[in-house]
Amino acid sequence: MFGSGGGGGSSSQLYDYSEEEEDLGKVYDRVLMTRLLAYLKPYRLEVVLIVFLMIGYTATEMWLPYLTKLGIDNHIQPGNLQGLEMIAIYYVLVLVARFIFTYFEEYRMQMVGQKAMYDIRMSLFSHLQRLDVRFFDNNPVGRLMTRVMGDVEVLRELFTSGVITVFGNLLTIFGYMAVMLLLNWKLALVTFAVLPAIFAATTVYQVYSRRAFRDQRKYLAQINAFLNENIVGMTTMQLFAREPRSWLQFDERNKQYLGANLRSIFYFSLFSPMIEVSGSLALAVIIWYGGGQVLQDAMTFGVLFAFIQYSQRLFWPIRDLSEKYTIFQNAMASSERIFDLMDTEPTIVSPTPAKALEALNGEIEFRNVWLAYNAENYVLRDVSFKIKAGEKVAIVGHTGSGKTSIINLLCRFYEVSKGQILIDGIDLREMELQDLRHAINIVQQNIFLFSGTVEKNIHLDNPEISKEDAIAAAKEVHLDRYVQKMPNGYATEIKEGGAGLSVGQKQLVAFARALASDPDILILDEATSSVDTETELLIQDALSRLMANRTSIAIAHRLSTIQNADKIIVMQRGEIREMGTHNELLQQRGIYYRLYQLQYKGQEVG
Ligand SMILES: Nc1ncnc2c1ncn2[C@@H]1O[C@H](COP(=O)(O)OP(=O)(O)OP(=O)(O)O)[C@@H](O)[C@H]1O
């Protein structure tokens, strides 16, 4: 008995994705199979057609040896050439029919498989889009990519050469056996005597190849994860001259993968001739027993000749079936992981019914808010504050003090553990998520630019933002002057991740993006990286334009931002320790004062 597939669970080790590849799992699981077959439902007519094509193929295929028997027994042996050409014509016609059946069956089957995979990929992707940030914290990109592309590809094999062809294989096997029994049941039974040997060879092959196969998948997953991490982190690796170490680590994984591949090939190389030998054994038996019968006139030579062909054709579907075993096993493991992902429900969802939001004023209140990302490990403790509509607030504090966490909660990327967050007096949890995210715009520290034009990176395909709006926003935040210098202006293609733009330019693109969407509340996670003085002045001016006439919260790293703030919230170890204006807080000579001396004072000019 095989254990059920691993699935789920997060790995803390760097490259260890093995736990989810450990078990190859069951060959057949009714629940999984039912869910999988549901994806064939929209194509059930196609499937019925494929089954008919398959029956047609098997039926035509079975005629071929029989026609040779007719030719030998009725014409060649008695020396009666009349009608032999008709048999030759029939033979060709049957071959053509078989070709047509094969072509349509194969084409339709691949098409249904591809369409079903398209559907699964779409539902996986839209499911991923609904999942909340916490899920992505725990699931590395590599793993999710494997789900959407790798695991789904395994299922394609199940749909195209698994489910339906098993039926075809069984049909062929039983069809041939029936015809052989009808032609000469004694010779048929003698031929079938070889079948146990084939089944034994197949079983042995399955047992040994399974382990090799499992290792293959495990090591491949590890190589993928390793490659992913190393390519993404190539610059850091080169900077720290880690190439030789990484080379050795890759070599080790590559060797393991090679070993598993070779083992798998070894078993297959052994299995293939074993099937061949069994086939030849059947041939020997037929010649020996059948030949004897022909000499005793108990059987015609044509039947013997047909039997030789039937027996050879019988072994291919049997061998095919043994390969299906692996396909089923893989598909069950993959589908278990895919459904695991599909069954992961987002924890942060819109309520039903949600409160309808008219235009927001942008008043924010945190009421005794607590947050723990993990268990009872609170990173925000009893945080309470109010921000009036249109106020500019700066949050400051040492690293890890909980500044980003406040923003994460306000955008409802995470749920509060205790307490309440209200916008215009409405609890976030009572709002439609779409409405909330529409009302808030966040300029993050790591600005994400999509591959596409500058213009697209500003309006992000939002139909409410026209090209003119996008350009106006770019002008307002001083991005325009840089875009004008680009080869194609706003139509200039930006590479994925914004490679080719400077840090300052990227920030301006993000500002233009935020301004164009005209949010009620603006959140700014200020970048710490410094830019040249000229750009810095442009950024500061852009910022003040961006923040004008709307509620804004900034995790502040700029002196200008804190000086311009109506209120500064000072965080320490997850708690609000001080709150007030720049001057008020300086006078208190408390945490802010020290922080100011350490972090901000140096930015003072003159
Ligand atoms: N996704 C997460 N899962 C678990 N713990 C987290 C997560 N994000 C942050 N933390 C933890 O919560 C605490 C507060 O982190 P937070 O990012 O809010 O601090 P911060 O003040 O914004 O720090 P920085 O100035 O360095 O960005 C830290 O101890 C951090 O390790």
What confidence tens digit (pLDDT) does each residue in 113-126 have? Answer: 999 999 999 999 99
Domain boundary among 343, 372, 387: 343
Q: Are 431 and 350 contacting, i.e. CB atoms less than 8 angstroms apart?
A: yes
| Domain count of the fold of the chain | 2
In this structure, are 318 and 371 located in the same domain? Answer: no
- In the reported structure, the alpha carbon of residue 405 is separated from the centroid of ligand 1 by a whole-number distance in angstroms of 6
Q: What's the pLDDT score for residue 90?
A: 95
Q: Where does a domain end: 313, 343, 373? A: 343
In a domain, 213, yes or no: yes
Q: Is there a domain that residue 17 lies in?
A: no
Candidates 405, 528, 576: which one to mutate for ligand 1, based on the most atoms within 8 Å of Cβ?
405
Q: Are 554 and 565 in contact (CB under 8 A)?
A: yes
Same domain, 156 and 93: yes
- Pocket lining: 379 vs ligand 1, CB cutoff 6 Å: yes
Ordered alpha helix ranges (H), 233-242:
234-239
Residues 283 and 380 in one domain: no
What is the whole-number distance in angstroms between the Cα of residue 574 and the centre of ligand 1?
9
Report the nearest-CA residue for atom 12 of ligand 1. Answer: 379
Cα 288 to chain centroid, rounded: 57
**Separation between Cα atoms, residue 373 and residue 184, nearest integer Å:** 75
Give 87's strand partners. Answer: none
Same structural domain, 275 and 372: no
Whether 576 and 452 share a structural domain: yes
- pTM of this prediction exceeds 0.80: no
Q: Are residues 313 and 380 in the same domain?
A: no
* CA 213 – CA 492 distance, rounded (Å): 48
Count how many Cα atoms sit within 13 Å of the Cα of residue 57 in the half-sphere of its side chain.
21
Q: Give the structural domain span for 87.
A: 23-343
- DSSP states along 440-507: EEEE-SS----SEEHHHHHHTT-TTS-HHHHHHHHHHTT-HHHHHTSTTGGGPEEPGGGTTS-HHHHH
Query: Same structural domain for residues 258 and 406?
Result: no
The answer to whether position 8 is within a domain reads: no
**pLDDT value of residue 19:** 42
Confirm or reject: Cβ of 409 under 6 Å from ligand 1.
Answer: no
pLDDT tens-digit readout, 332-355: 888 888 898 899 988 888 888 777
Q: Is 137 in the pocket of ligand 1 (CB under 6 A)?
A: yes
Residues 338 and 377 both lie in one domain: no
Q: Is 433 in the pocket of ligand 1 (CB under 6 A)?
A: no
Q: Which residues contact 15 (CB under 8 A, 6 or more apart)?
A: 222, 225, 226, 229, 253
CATH number of the domain that 516 lies in? 3.40.50.300
Q: Does 450 fall in a domain? A: yes
Going from the Cα of 402 to the center of ligand 1, the distance in angstroms, rounded, reads 6
Asked if residue 349 is part of any domain, the answer here is: no
> Predicted ipTM?
0.96
Do 143 and 67 belong to one domain? yes
| 292: exposed, middle or buried (Cβ count in 10 Å: 0-12, 13-18, 19+) | exposed
Q: Are residues 289 and 371 in the same domain?
A: no
Is 14 contained in some domain?
Answer: no
Q: Which residues of the chain have pLDDT under 70?
A: 1-27, 142, 528-530, 604-606
pLDDT at 577: 94
Domain identity same for 339 and 370: no
CA–CA distance, 576 with 570 (Å, rounded to integer): 6
Task: Examine residue 441 and state whether it is found in any structural domain, yes or no.
Answer: yes
State which of 343, 375, 402 marks the end of a domain: 343
Looking at the domain assignment, is residue 103 inside a domain?
A: yes
CATH at 265? 1.20.1560.10
Same domain, 324 and 398: no
Biggest distance spanned by C-alpha atoms of the chain = 121
